[in-house]
Structure 1
Amino acid sequence: MLHIPWNYKSLSLKTIVRDFTTFSNESFRFEIRGNSSNNIIKSTDGNLSLTTLTSGQYKISASYLMANGEFSPFTPLVQISVSQPWWKTWWMITLEILLISTIALALIAFYLHRKKEKMRYAIKEHEQRLAEEKVQFLINISHELRTPLTLIYAPIKRLSEVNTIPLKESRIIRKILVQVQNIMQLVNMVLDVRKMEIGGAAIYIEEINLNNWLNEISERFRDEFESKSLGLIYQFDKSITSLNIDDKKTEIVINNLLMNALKYAAPNTDVVITTELMSNSIKITISDIGTVVTASEGKKMFERFYQTHHRNIGYGIGLSYAKMLVEMQGGRIDVNDNNGKGAEFIMELPLGLTPSAENSENKSYLNELINSSALQNLTEKEFNLSRNTVLFVDDDMDILELFKTSYAINFKSILLAQNGDEALEIIRDKRPDIVVSDVMMPEKDGFELCQALKSDIEISHIPIILLTAKNDIHSTAVGYKLGADSYIPKPFDLNFLLIIIRNILKNRTEIRKRYSEVSQHKSLPEETTFSRADEEFMKRLNTYIFEHISETLHSDIIAEHMGMSRTAFYTKMKAIANIGIMTYVTQLRIERAKELIRLKEYRMSEVAYMVGFSDAGYFSTIFKQVTGVSPSEWNNG
């Protein structure tokens, strides 16, 4: 085999025949086989010149003209291999493919990024437009409320100044007056914040006698505090004589803090108002005894719309607005837990401000109030539906196609049915995570489907949303009585429906998580189940387990008692609790063991036996796996 490069210039072969006896102009023939071709080249001198061979494998043979006038058989001379040019080698082709693929992916990524940026810009514009509309709406409402509030406030104010009114009625009038003033403050807040946005609101710094000023404001709440059995105590620093502040804006802050104390302080306790002179500021503290504010809650209480799980009265705007007013004057406001007894609001206002009138900084204050960062965080952490399957039921195929195309990117799988009977078959076979059904359908309507679903113990845990044009109170009541998880009248918004689906599935997931925590098994079945049938199922299950908790329990025995096959029972438990039955039994055993240990009447070996463990050592191991501590540590704790 003769190897030659692809870019060779020329190649010559010389052939000699020893028994050559005949001379002719065409006494030689060369055959070149290769690259699916067969060429014959004639020669008179036995020389073969090759200058145009392409890359590949070739076999060259020769034949000569003999004395009898015939050509001899072709005799193989040589095999030639012409190498591929570098741009046709496999590694170069691979590199070219990778390069083209990279460029294509880059172009696709650029296109998607550009499309995403356009969408983000459009969403931002839409949000800005909505924010402006919300602001304008609030402003319009505030203006409209001012006139009727004035008509209410003026006569109530006059009545409160009449001395001939009996004391009992006079106190009622003063209470009404305080609440009307609170409403007027809320209305004025919107308009004042709007002025701050456009630079039309000024900060008026004036000198006041701080202690007398605080006493005057807080005494307006005296009757309200006494009606709730709350005392009002002043601990003023007598070294404080005056302070330069914007008294109108600071009064709003004080009123807000006093209203919070009025709402959340425990009866028969005191609300204490304290002033203290600091090196560069004056500290005003309003503390109460009642609901304790934790450190994590304290960090969030000044966020817009934030409410703690126990301080959930109102809309969560007041403290955010109060912080805004304090910071406009160069101060700060914070909250502590009042030594673990309640809440302690601390406001510090700087010393050295000179009496003046300054315009506020131009900012989107109102949008800051109505656009909550907490709400934005919630939308960013939406419940992921990519693992869920949904079944849509409607007799109109166009509606079903709309659901399928609109929600294709949201769900793992979308199932479709055109009547209740078909839907029930799919539900029993595929076990979707949620069902969305129209009410008016042939054969079996949505109400009948809902009733059949919720009455079948094997599938009663599956939530169902009913969609209907019948939005009267009676139809809605029927839907909920049959066990519907939500009832949405037509026409409806697709995004709204998706939010309802997401919230229902999210709540189901949260309930399932509770079963993985031992302490949560003390919850009543009606608090941790999805339907009446599921509630009865869990009640029967818990009753049976606790009646036989000291015995050996197997999943087959429990399933037989529940009247279900082992497979159906396993599926039901996974749907309700997301854990296996034996794990659930073990957790109930440990929960009962904790109750027995608290009684301090039994030895650990006795407790183990009473909850179904024959080996105390194994009981101790399982107890520690579940609770994180050993039984003895639990007993000492």
Structure 2
Amino acid sequence: MERHDKQEIETGFRKESIEKAARDIRIATIAAAVLFPLFTILDAVIYPDLIGAFILIRAAVVLGSIAIFVIVGTGAERRHARGYGIVAYLIWTCSIVAMVHLTGGYASPYYAGINLVLITFLFILPLDVGRTAFVCGVVYLSYLIPMFFAPPISSHPTFLNNHFFLVATMILVIMSSYLSTKMRLKEFTARFRLARANEELKELDILKSQFFANISHEVRTPLTSIIAPVQSMFQGDAGRLTEEQQTLVGQVYRNSVRLLDMINQMLDFAKFDARKMQLRLARVSVAEIVRDVVTVFTEVSARKGLALSYEVLEEVPTVYLDREKMDRILSNLIRNAIKFTDSGSVSVTIGRNATAIVIKITDTGIGIPDDHLKRIFERFQQVDGSSTRRFEGTGLGLTIVKEAVELQHGTIAVESTVGRGAEFTIQLPLDLETRAPDAFIERRGRDRRNADRPFTGPDRRQGPRRGAESSRVSVEDLAFADAGDKTGNSVTAKSPATADGLEVLYAEDNEDLRTFVSTMLSKFGHRITTAVDGQEGWERVLRLPPDIIVSDVMMPRMDGYEFLIAVKSTDETRHIPFILITAKSELDSKIEGLEFGADDYLPKPINIRELEARVRNLVTGRKLHEAALHTRELEGRIQELSLSFSRSLELRDHYTAGHSNDVLAYGIIIAEELGLPIDARLRESLLLHDIGKLGIPDRILLKPAALTPEEWATMKKHAEIGAELLRDFESFRDVADIILAHQERYDGTGYPRGLSGDSIPMIARIIAVADAWHAMTEDRPYRAALSFSEAILELHRNRGRQFDPGVVDALFSGLVSRRILTHHDVNKARCVMN
């Protein structure tokens, strides 16, 4: 890829250099044609006797410059502009060289003219370093060679002085040409890469819009298939539902409509962004359209306690407009006005002026800050984009409104005062059909809206969604979806609580989700208290601390993060488990929540069973954590349990009574010599190493003689039996792996898995040596105890085969340091082995 770019850069730079040379040479030839004749004045003053020859030379330069100017001006010769640049340089410089030789050769003061031409035209007509060096070389030779045929040099200082400055000037000109070319190439490369990046960004933007539209379209298709049966269920066409089922189906239906509307808005935005949105004009009564939309949203505004009014200021004629886009414009603006107004009124007026229909939507809501007014129609802009914002939205609604208005050759403006409300003014032309000649016009279309159609009441949602209409979201659909968005109060869910049910506080600002989650969690026997935001949730926690808190992140007044911080920074509540739930799936959001002290984090959509499981697990974990505060008591109980297991075995086999405690003592001696920690795992492993013998039949375990091969095969299973037994206890799972390996041999010939060397756990290697030492030095039913010397000799004999040499040495060292053995005992055994 880089090689391909390099080739493109070189090719592009070459083309640009040719174009630049063509422009520069025409400027340079004009400059030469003007400047060269002016120096005739100098010729007349210094060399009046040569004025005729100089005039001819300068005239030749002018004619040559004009000729090159004309030739390069033709399209065919522009590609050779750099070659003509060399010719021009040679004409200008060689003419000065000729004058130099006519006026004394090396001693002529006109040599400075060569320097002047080279330096001046370096800026007017820059050549690349190769061509510049060629010109300088030719000029230098034309200056130097004739001197060999002239009279001998009489003033060497003058010759050297002029020669030095001429050569130095040429070197500087060549260096300047090199640096200039390099800088131009660097600048061209930067411009090339910038242009390439810009093209790639444009392509990515196009691909993004296409992908955006394709995905939205593909999502819309199955979504409309979901809405149709849900609508039928909600309307009772599929049978009568219980009140609870009706509520749940209504939530699904309402939020499906919202989702479909969001997808349609994204599709519209993609079309507007790609300039592919088309106008479908029909003659409509704008006054009736506005009246109908206002009527539809009357119920929504009433639920919120707002007065929604409509007034016709002047009679408005029927005009050609895009009916669907008018629905979108009006519904978006009226919905926004209702959403951002807590009390007061929303008014819609319609009138006209000489050239346009004027519609105004005015509210008494929160208003728009001045710093947001200029950006309010930009994509994804929201007045409040923080996690505590009160109002949901994609930030596309007003962008689509503006695009839809401007597509109909209209204008939209907004005026607002914070705390007093906002007023949107739309002006739509009376003659859109003439301003938009390319629009599709339904000449025989009629307004399908019926002024007598009822927009309220139970029959409003009757009628299935058919054909192309199934993917449209009508104004009535939007009003139905918004009707359920009334401000919900927090509630305590009444549920058949069970004895093991928990007190759960659930904070969520979305009423549908709050109702659904609280209802479903209550079915698991929990007692649910809800809050509409973090502030109310915190107040409830202070009044009656729950067993656990589940909270959304983005809520008004106090968001989930602030709620979490309040809970975790207060001594009386910091122990309460806290689960954060959010629609944001980014890892950074999860990390942020966990850093604030969240005990768990769940993304939306919420899986109720998973949430319930995590609720129970966290509360259980908290209780275990509280129990863990009594660490010493718990460790003592575990140790007692270990001793109980070992005593259970000793009760079956009185011959080995005390064996586990003795192995524990020897094992601790070895561990101390090896510098290992004397922790619970070591103690439990040493105490319980033979626990598997509980599963060995008495006829084998208690047999007072040597075992048969079959019996020995059964006895060898005790390590596996012990491991399986201990794995049933969470506290002993690490110990189980050690017990399983304590019969392995250092050389790999042990059982059950044939481990060898360091692959055998260190504690298992310690158990093997401690167990063997105790078994050899204690009486058994089938043999008497070995002497210390015999036991030392036996361990030495199996050192490196059955036992880890380091562990054997640690046992001897520990027994000597505790004066159980002497150095003489150990050294004597070593001498026997040697």
Check whether TM > 0.5: no
Larger radius of gyration: 2
More strand by share: 1
TM-score, L = length of structure 2: 0.31
